[in-house]
A and B are shown apart, each in its own frame.
Chain A
Amino acid sequence: MTILGKFKFFSALVASAMMLCGLTSNALADGHSGMAVPSIKSSVVMSGLENPWDMAFLPDGTMFFTEKCKGLSVRTTSGKVHALYGMKGSKGYKSSGSDLFCEGQAGMLGVVADSKFASNRTLYLYSTSNKYHGSGCKTNFEKCDGNIVMKFKVAKNMKSVSGRTDIVTDIQYKPFKSDQPFGGPGAHNGGRIRIGPGGYLWVGTGDRHRGLCPQDNSLLCGVVLRVDGDGNAHPGNNPPAGADNRIYTYGHRNVQGIDFRPSDGRAFTAEHGPWHNDEITALINGGNGGWDPHEKRAGRGACPDQYCGYEPNQMEGVDPAVRAAYTPMSDTRFSDLMTPAWNNNGFSQGTGSAAFLKGSNWGIYENRLSAGIMGIAFGDTPSGSRIDMYDIAADGLSIRSVVRMPLGFSKRFRGLVMGPDNALYATTDEGEIYKITASK
Chain B
Amino acid sequence: MSTIALRVLFLVFLNFSGYAISGDKEAGEARYNKTCINCHGPAGKGAASYPKISGNEISYVTEKLQIYRDGIEIGPNSGLMIMMAKPLTDEEIANLAEYLKDAKYTN
Contacts and interface: CB of A to CB of B under 8 A. Distances in A.
Contacts of A430: 41-42, 45, 47, 105, 107
Contacts of B39: 376
Nearest to A350: B38
Contacts of B105: 430
Interface string A411-433: 01010000000000000011110
A183 B76 contact: yes
A181 interface: yes
A378 interface: yes
Contacts of A39: none
B45 A105 contact: no
Given A414-B48, A431-B107, A184 B83 contact: no
Contacts of B35: 377
A51 interface: yes
A315 interface: yes
Contact of A377 (B38, B41, B48, B77): B38
Contact of B107 (A44, A376, A378, A385): A44
B96 interface: no
A257 interface: no
Contacts of A183: 76-77, 79
B41 A315 contact: no
Contact of A412 (B47, B75, B76, B79): B47
B48 A51 contact: yes
Nearest to A189: B49
Given A44-B107, A374-B48, A431-B107, A182 B42 contact: no
Given A376-B38, A383-B38, A314 B79 contact: yes
Interface string B43-87: 001011100000000000000000000000001110110110000
Contacts of B47: 51, 412, 429-430
A185 interface: yes
Contacts of A180: 79
A375 interface: yes
Contacts, number: 60
Contacts of A412: 41, 47-48
A386 to B, nearest CB: 12
B49 A105 contact: yes
Interface string A346-386: 00000000000000000000000000001111100001010
Nearest to B35: A377
A179 B82 CA distance: 13
Nearest to A68: B48
Contacts of A199: none
B7 to A, nearest CB: 40
Interface string A228-253: 00000000000000000000000000
A274 interface: no
B38 to A, nearest CB: 5
Contacts of B76: 104, 177, 183-185
B41 A429 contact: yes
A336 interface: no
Given A182-B77, A429-B41, A430-B42, A315 B49 contact: no
Contacts of A47: 107
A337 to B, nearest CB: 30
Nearest to B47: A429
A432 B79 contact: no
Interface string A281-301: 000000000000000000000
A104 B46 CA distance: 12
A315 B79 contact: yes
Contacts of B83: 181, 315-317, 378
Contacts of A377: 35, 38
A33 B71 CA distance: 57
A309 interface: no
Contacts of A317: 83
A307 to B, nearest CB: 13
A181 B84 CA distance: 11
B55 to A, nearest CB: 16
Contacts of B48: 51, 68, 105, 374, 412, 414, 429
11 contacts: A105-B48, A179-B79, A180-B79, A181-B77, A182-B77, A183-B77, A315-B83, A317-B83, A377-B35, A378-B83, A430-B105
Given A317-B83, A429-B48, 15 more contacts: A47-B107, A68-B48, A104-B49, A181-B83, A182-B77, A182-B79, A184-B76, A185-B76, A314-B79, A316-B83, A377-B38, A412-B41, A412-B48, A414-B48, A430-B41
Q: Which 10 A-B pairs have the closest CB atoms?
A: A184-B76, A429-B47, A177-B76, A181-B79, A104-B49, A429-B48, A377-B38, A47-B107, A105-B49, A383-B38
